[in-house]
């Protein structure tokens, strides 16, 4: 087999502002003008040609070639875990030398690279996804069938960026026309989080989840969460900083299920997560790929944890991989490709609020641009 890997820039139509990350764009002196410009695909493309950043994320994409077929994979390295695009590509350069001696993806899926140095889970995830895509194509079946799963998973939530209450409500009203489940980014440290949820609730009866992205203190969370329950919020994601000692207390006191994301990277984290949460958000880029995600789901369920399959900012290639295993999870948050201005892959469709793969071999996606 031959492995090729590269860094690819994805451009985001609606950059997500979240509490614990630097903004993907800077609107400062022109505020409202740039906000309107970001809603125009033509203006966004013109801005990029002029070198003006308008919400960009870099992912790693890999291609596995064997027998006249190609398997595609993608993942987003996470700097908070010590991974970068550059370190992922270095790992894949080393992996390519060993892959060259393999005849097909089966050996790769059976652990042919387990002897490589530990870490670089995003690179491993991209490689794992490409191997599954190639294996499905060789067998002539979709990946979900290759893994013995169902084609369709839970309805996905659609994420709304952290914004002022009125803007959040307007965005929710638009999104609710297509999606029955909305996830609101909170943790604004401005005292307006509850007002954001109230404003949204006044405009829609959609199911609501919130994600504070580690943005609350324990005392703040203990005050806010009961009010969220009264507003019909069905899930609170990562309300406290990862490993906050107040996690177990909040779990016991919360009338709303607490799910953790930053607290949960791999299956090794699940026992600790069970002390501080009711559920976990599993992402392929965090845990190392499809089989690792399925292992997380199984072990989480054994610990009494709810499960959600989530995503980073990825193209339809990365989202498709998660969609193929979504049926093994209780909840889904797989919407990143819907926020892109120039998705390089196509093949997923939204049906009844669910992302559904094409009934085609492998991942069922095709490249539409280089």
CB atoms within 10 A of CB 231: 14
C-beta separation of 295 from 267 below 8 A:
yes
User: Is 80 exceeded by the pLDDT of residue 271?
Assistant: yes
Q: Which CATH number fits domain 158-367: 3.20.20.120, 3.70.10.10, 3.30.70.360, 3.30.2000.20?
A: 3.20.20.120
Q: Give the whole-number percent of the chain exceeding pLDDT 70.
A: 89
Length of the chain equals: 370
Predicted local confidence at residue 299, as pLDDT? 98
Q: How does pLDDT run across 44-87, given as a tens digit for each residue?
A: 444 443 333 457 899 999 999 999 999 999 999 999 999 999 99
Helix 290-302 × helix 316-325 angle, to 10°: 40
The whole-number average pLDDT for the span 302-317 is 97
Residue 177: CB partners within 8 Å, gap ≥ 6? none
- The predicted model gives 309-323 an average pLDDT of 97
Q: What is the pLDDT of residue 54?
A: 52
7 closest CA partner among 80, 77, 100, 95 = 77
Indicate if the pLDDT at residue 180 is higher than 50. Answer: yes
The kind and range of the H/E element at 5 are strand 2-11
Q: Region 317-343: what's the mean pLDDT? A: 96
Average pLDDT, the chain: 90
pLDDT at 2 exceeding the cut of 60: yes
Give the confidence band of 14 by pLDDT, cuts at 50, 70, 90. Answer: low
Q: Which structure tokens are listed for 265?
A: 């990277």
- Average the pLDDT over 260-272 and give the result: 97
Q: Is the pLDDT of residue 136 over 50?
A: yes
Residue 309 is predicted with a pLDDT of 98
Residue pLDDT, tens place only, 224-240: 999 999 999 999 999 99
Domain locations in the chain?
158-367
């Amino acid at each position: 087999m031959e492995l090729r890997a590269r860094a690819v820039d994805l451009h985001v139509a609606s950059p997500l502002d979240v509490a614990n990350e630097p903004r993907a764009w800077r609107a400062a002196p022109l505020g409202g003008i740039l906000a309107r410009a970001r809603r125009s695909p033509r203006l966004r493309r013109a801005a990029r040609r002029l070198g003006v950043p308008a919400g960009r994320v870099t992912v790693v994409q890999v291609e596995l070639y064997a027998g006249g077929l190609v398997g595609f994979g993608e993942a987003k390295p996470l700097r908070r875990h010590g991974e970068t695009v550059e370190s992922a590509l270095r790992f894949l350069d080393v992996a390519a030398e060993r892959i060259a001696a393999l005849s097909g993806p089966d050996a790769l899926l059976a652990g042919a690279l387990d002897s490589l140095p530990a870490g670089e889970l995003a690179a491993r995830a991209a490689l794992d996804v490409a191997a599954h895509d190639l294996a499905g194509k060789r067998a002539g079946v979709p990946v979900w069938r290759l893994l013995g799963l169902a084609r369709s998973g839970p309805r996905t939530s659609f994420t709304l960026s952290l914004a002022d209450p009125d803007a959040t409500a307007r965005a929710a009203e638009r999104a609710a026309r297509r999606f029955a489940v909305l996830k609101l980014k909170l943790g604004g440290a401005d005292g307006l989080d509850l007002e954001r949820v109230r404003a949204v609730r006044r405009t829609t009866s959609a199911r609501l989840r919130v994600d504070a992205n580690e943005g609350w203190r324990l005392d703040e969370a203990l005050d806010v969460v009961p009010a969220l329950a009264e507003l019909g919020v069905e899930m609170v994601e990562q309300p406290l900083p990862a490993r906050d000692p107040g996690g177990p207390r909040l779990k016991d006191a919360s009338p709303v299920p607490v799910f953790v994301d930053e607290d949960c990277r791999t299956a090794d984290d699940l026992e600790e997560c069970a002390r501080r949460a009711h559920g976990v958000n599993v992402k392929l880029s965090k845990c190392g790929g499809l089989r690792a995600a399925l292992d997380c789901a199984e072990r989480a369920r054994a610990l009494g944890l709810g499960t959600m399959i989530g995503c980073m900012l990825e193209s339809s290639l990365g989202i498709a991989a998660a969609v193929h295993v979504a049926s093994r999870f209780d909840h889904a948050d797989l919407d990143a490709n819907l926020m892109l201005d120039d998705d390089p892959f196509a093949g997923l469709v939204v049906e009844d609020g669910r992302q559904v793969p094409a009934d085609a071999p492998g991942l069922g996606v095709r490249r539409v641009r280089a």
